[in-house]
Amino acid sequence: MIREPPPFFHRGPSPLARLTFFTLMAVAIMIADHRFQALERVRQVVATVVHPLAQAAAFPSQALAQLGEHFASQERLAQDNEALRAKVLEQAAASQEVQLLRAEREQLRALGEARKRYDGGILGEVVYTARNPFTRKIVVDRGTQHGVVPGMPVIDGTGIVGQITAVASYTSEVTLVTEKDQSVPVMLIRNGLRAVAVGAGKDGAIDVPFMPFSADVQAGDVLVTSGIDQTYPPGLVVANVTSVEKNAARVFAKIVARPAAGVENHRLVMLLPLPASAPPRPEARTDDKKPGKERGKARRDAQKTGNAPR
Q: How far apart are CA 124 and CA 270, in angstroms?
A: 6
CATH of domain 122-271: 2.40.10.340
Among candidate residues 128, 156, 125, 123, the one with its CA nearest the CA of residue 141:
125
Report the pLDDT value the prediction gives residue 310, as an integer from 0 to 100: 42
Higher pLDDT residue, 285 or 18? 18
To 5 degrees, how large is the angle CA 242–CA 245–CA 249? 165
- The model's pLDDT over 235-260, given as tens digits with 9 standing for 90+, comes to 888 999 999 998 877 788 899 999 98
Buried b (16+ CB within 10 A) or exposed e, 179-202: beebbbbbbbeeeebebebbbbbe
pLDDT at 235: 85
Phi, psi dihedral angles at 55 (to 5 degrees):
-65, -45
* Spatial separation of the C-alpha atoms in residues 121 and 164, rounded to whole Å: 13
Measured between alpha carbons, how far is 221 from 136 in angstroms, rounded to an integer?
25
Q: How confident is the prediction for the chain on average, in pLDDT?
A: 79
CB 171 within 8 A of CB 127: yes
In this prediction, residue 282 carries a pLDDT of 62
Please report the pLDDT score of residue 140 as a whole number: 92
Give the start-to-end residue ranges of the domains of the chain: 12-117, 122-271
Per the model's pLDDT, the better-predicted residue between 171 and 104 turns out to be: 171
* CB burial of residue 118 (10 Å; 0-12, 13-18, 19+): middle
Residue 240's nearest CA partner among 285, 278, 190, 301 is 190
Helix (H, G, I), strand (E, B) or coil at 56: helix
| pLDDT value at 290 more than 50 | no
Check if the beta carbon of residue 179 is closer than 8 Å to that of residue 148.
no
Q: How far, in Å, CA of 229 to CA of 231, rounded?
A: 5
User: What is the model's pLDDT at position 125?
Assistant: 86
Position with higher pLDDT, 102 vs 294 = 102
Q: Examine the pLDDT at 286 and tell me if it is beyond 70.
A: no
Highest mean pLDDT among 33-42, 112-121, 163-172: 163-172
Select the highest-mean-pLDDT range: 71-75, 85-89, 194-198, 281-285: 194-198
Among 130-134, 253-257, 270-274, top mean pLDDT goes to 253-257
What is the residue-wise DSSP string for 165-207? EEE-SS-EEEEETTSTT-EEEEEETTT--EEEEEE-SSTT-EE
pLDDT of residue 9: 52
Helix, strand, or coil here: 238?
A: strand
- Single out the residue of 250, 160, 162, 176 nearest to residue 210, CA to CA: 250
pLDDT of residue 308 exceeding 50, the answer is: no
Does pLDDT of 309 surpass 60? Answer: no
